Each structure stands twice: as structure tokens, then as C-alpha cells.
Amino acid sequence: MIPAAFEYERAGSVDEAVALLGRDEDAKLLAGGHSLIPTMRLRFSRPSLLVDIGRLDDLRYVREDRDRLAIGALTRHAELVRDPVLSQHCALIGEAAALIGDPQVRHRGTIGGSVAHGDPASDLGTILLALDAELVARGPRGERTIPAAAFFTGPFENALERQEVLTEIRVPKAVGTYLKYVRRAHDWATVGVAAVRVDGRVHVGLTSMGPTPLRARSVEDALADGASPADAAAHAADDTMPPTDASASSEYRAHLARVLVRRALEKL
Amino acid sequence: MTRIALTVNGSRCEADVEPRQLLAYFLRDQLGLKGTNVGCDTTSCGACTVLLDGESVKSCTVFAVQADGCEVTTVEGLTLGDELHPVQQAFHEQHALQCGYCTPGFVMATISLLKENPNPSEAEIRDGLEGNLCRCTGYHNIVQAVQAAARAGA
């Protein structure tokens, strides 16, 4: 369980990290390391260079910006849980962060690292997708903003270019709820559901129901047409591809999605 | 090899490490601090929990190079002379262990928990220690020990 050997550089700034990423085709960023290090230990991942951005403390913040919030990519899960601005204006992010791993994991894991890792079973990506969040990335040609809908391109894949660093996540102020079903303490979601109200419309996101976080568009459309939560939730598994694995069958995940979406909508 | 300098249990230490060296193995094999146990080796069991700049972390999932410049506390760093740390004392008095393998991790996780929440409810203790597993299933006594330590102001 020892990772393959790699070179290590600690970046002193985002620009330095961008430059270091250009040095090696197989370079990877290291933030909190709580997704990357376990995969490296299993040798699923063998980067030849790790660029450590874990000390860039200027990327640890939650700021209010009129009707939106800006979250620094290196904000740790434990910080999301206790942040007063977040709990006032977009509480479900902190509530979901409290369900990630365990206290030790939340002391190290970061929102940017978790989202960029792109595990279809992770919670925060689903919430960002439901919120129509924007992800800010900096690369050699400057900064760009990626809508969450375009960010998650596949399992463990994202829209970042090789030398881009995710620096900030922007979300609207919103009320919402995140429900997660797990079979064991500190496990990944068997299924997770985010329901949020954005600009008078209800958005629903799904975790572990396909290769990336998904939006339950049929549920959203049914609600917009005036369906009851129970009737709309019947569509929760439409157009999804829930996997069958050791924790659940595809059919069971579809069932869970319908139940959890109904509960989330009733709570909203 | 990468040169790191960190403070471990109050003492400054410098060492050359391979970047892939994990903190748990650095503490055990290079510094000889074998109180930090490695259980599952997969970020689950919490036996390897240490404090990194005062917060509990699983040292099997932190590279030693990430601790460069930081302060690390292991179970060896808790005693003051012959006197046990109040959390250790509470674990001792409440019989909060059977085989003892998970105990250093539980003690470190408890210190971090009580720092963040000095008066936790029973539910908060159970949630707060969810990252530590005891295969002897001594959880009831562990919870009592944490309550006793909180009462003692640990």
C-alpha cells in the first residue's frame, strides 16, 4: 500500500502551480489529499509529479458577494461545516460537508479537491450542479469560469485543462436540502439527493445515479408544471444510469432515488 | 529525497524523506514513535490518528512532506513526566480499552474533539469519534471516558 515514487513540489502561489503543472505531463495537484492519496496507495493513480497547493491559505474563504457566495477552492470540509456566512445563505453545503467521511477526513479534505476528483459518489459535486454553480479556473492563459453543468465530463474526469487550477466556486444564495443514504458510517453515498430552490424554480441533483452528478430534469419539469412532490419524485430515476456494485443494485438505487427525492422535496 | 523540518511532540526535527513516505511510517520507522498504530491503512479505522497543527488527522493519509513546517503531536507527546494526560487518565479509569490497539488513535481523536466542542453530548461524542473503529467494541466505555475527560476539563 505504498504509492509509486513521485517528484514533489510545493507551490507558493496559484501561478507557480500553473507553471509547475506545465513541467510534467503526468503531474497532478495535491490539495488535502484525501481522495488522491488513497487512490495513489492503491496505485490506481501514479502521477510522476505532485504539485502541492495545500498551503495556499488565500484560497480558504467563504465570501458574500451581493446575491452570491464565493468559496475558495481550498476551503476544508470542516470549515464549510462551521462557516457562518454559508450557514446563513446556503446552508445545505455545510450540512452536506458534515456528512463527508469523518472528522479527521474533514480536517484535511477540501471542496475544490473533492469536486475536481470527480467521484460520481461524492456529495458536493451534486450540490454544485443543482445550484448551477460556477467554477473558476486559472491557467497559463488567465482565468475562466466553467458552469457546473459543463464541469463534470465523466467519472473522475472534469473540464479542467492540464495546467488549470480550480481556484473558486461561486454559488447563489439558496435554500435547499441534501439527503444521503449510506449503509455504513462514513461511507460514500449509495444515493444522494440535492433539492434547492433557485430563482423560484426547484432544481434536483443526484449522486451515484450515473457516471457524473446528474440533474433530475424530469422531476424539475414536472414540478414546474405543478406536479405534487410525490408525483414529481416518481420521475427521479428517469434518464439515469445507476450502477450496480457491492453496496446496491441498479434497481435499488433507482428506488432510493425516488424515495429520497420525494423526501427532499417534502422538506424543501 | 526531500528535506523536511517539523516539530514533533515539542521537539524540532529535521529529516530527509522520500516524498511518498507517509507520515504514519515516518513517525514509526524514522522517529521510532511506535505509539501511533497503523490499522487498516486505508483512511478508515483511525488507529493512526495524530494531531497536525492541533487537529486530528489520519497519518496514513498524509505524506510526511505535507507536515513540513508543521507541529505534530503523537500519543507519546501527551504525558507530562509521569502524569497521564487527562484524556489518557479518563480512558484508564473508565476501562475504555480492551486490546488497546485503537486506543492511541481514540485518545488523539478525543483531544481534537474536546478542543472543538468542550462539552459534547453523548450523540456528539459518538458522531465525533465516527472516524475511529474499535474491534473489541468497547464503545460504551470509550464514550464514558470522553464524558469523564470533558468533566475534568481536558
pLDDT by residue (tens digit) across A76-86?
999 999 999 99
Contacts of A245 (CB under 8 A, 6+ apart): none
CATH code for the domain defined by A57-172 = 3.30.465.10
| A3–B contact, CB cutoff 8 A | yes
Confidence of residue A179 (pLDDT cuts 50, 70, 90): very high
Confidence of residue B80 (pLDDT cuts 50, 70, 90): confident
Largest Cα separation within chain A, whole Å, is 57
How far is the first Cα of chain B from the last one, in angstroms, to the nearest whole number? 39
Rounded Cα distance between A180 and A105, Å, is 18
| B56–A contact, CB cutoff 8 A | yes
Q: What is the percent of chain A where pLDDT is above 90? A: 97
A7: chain B residues, CB-CB within 8 Å? 19
A104: chain B residues, CB-CB within 8 Å? 46, 49, 56-58, 109, 131
Q: What is the pLDDT of residues B8-47, one digit of tens each?
A: 999 999 999 999 999 999 999 999 999 999 999 999 999 9
Mean pLDDT of all residues in chain B? Answer: 96
Contact A264, A179 (CB under 8 A): yes
The domain spans of chain A are: 7-52, 57-172, 175-267
Does pLDDT of B153 surpass 90?
Answer: no
The SS3 assignment for A204 reads strand
Q: What is the pLDDT of residues A57-116, one digit of tens each?
A: 999 999 999 999 999 999 999 999 999 999 999 999 999 999 999 999 999 999 999 999
Contact A265, A236 (CB under 8 A): no
User: Quick one: pLDDT at residue B88?
Assistant: 97
Chosen CATH of B86-151 out of 3.40.50.300, 1.10.150.120, 3.40.50.10320, 1.10.460.10: 1.10.150.120
Q: Which of A7, A102, A119 to mutate to test the interface with B (most CBs of B within 10 A)?
A: A102
- Mean pLDDT in residue range A21-42: 97
Confidence of residue A249 (pLDDT cuts 50, 70, 90): very high
- Mean pLDDT in residue range A151-164: 97
User: Quick one: pLDDT at residue A185?
Assistant: 75
Rounded Cα distance between A197 and A267, Å, is 12
Torsion of CA B57, B59, B62, B64, to 10 degrees: 130
Q: Which of A65, A64, A3 is nearest to A28 (CA)?
A: A3
- Mean pLDDT in residue range A226-249: 97
Q: Which of B23, B25, B28, B43 to mutate to test the interface with A (most CBs of A within 10 A)?
A: B43
Angle between helices B139-151 and B86-93 (to 10 degrees): 130
Q: Which of B43, B52, B128 lies nearest to residue A34, judging by beta carbons?
A: B43
| ipTM of model | 0.97
The SS3 assignment for A119 reads coil
* ∠ CA A195-A200-A203, rounded to 5°: 25
Structural fold of domain B2-75: Ubiquitin-like (UB roll) (3.10.20)
The domain spans of chain B are: 2-75, 86-151
User: Quick one: pLDDT at residue A1?
Assistant: 79
A38: chain B residues, CB-CB within 8 Å? 42-43, 61
User: Quick one: pLDDT at residue B124?
Assistant: 97
* ∠ CA A82-A50-A32, rounded to 5°: 10
Chosen CATH of A7-52 out of 3.30.43.10, 1.10.1040.10, 3.40.140.10, 3.40.1710.10: 3.30.43.10
Confidence of residue A199 (pLDDT cuts 50, 70, 90): confident
Confidence of residue A184 (pLDDT cuts 50, 70, 90): confident
What is the second-level CATH architecture of the domain A175-267? 2-Layer Sandwich (3.30)
Does pLDDT of B154 surpass 90?
Answer: no
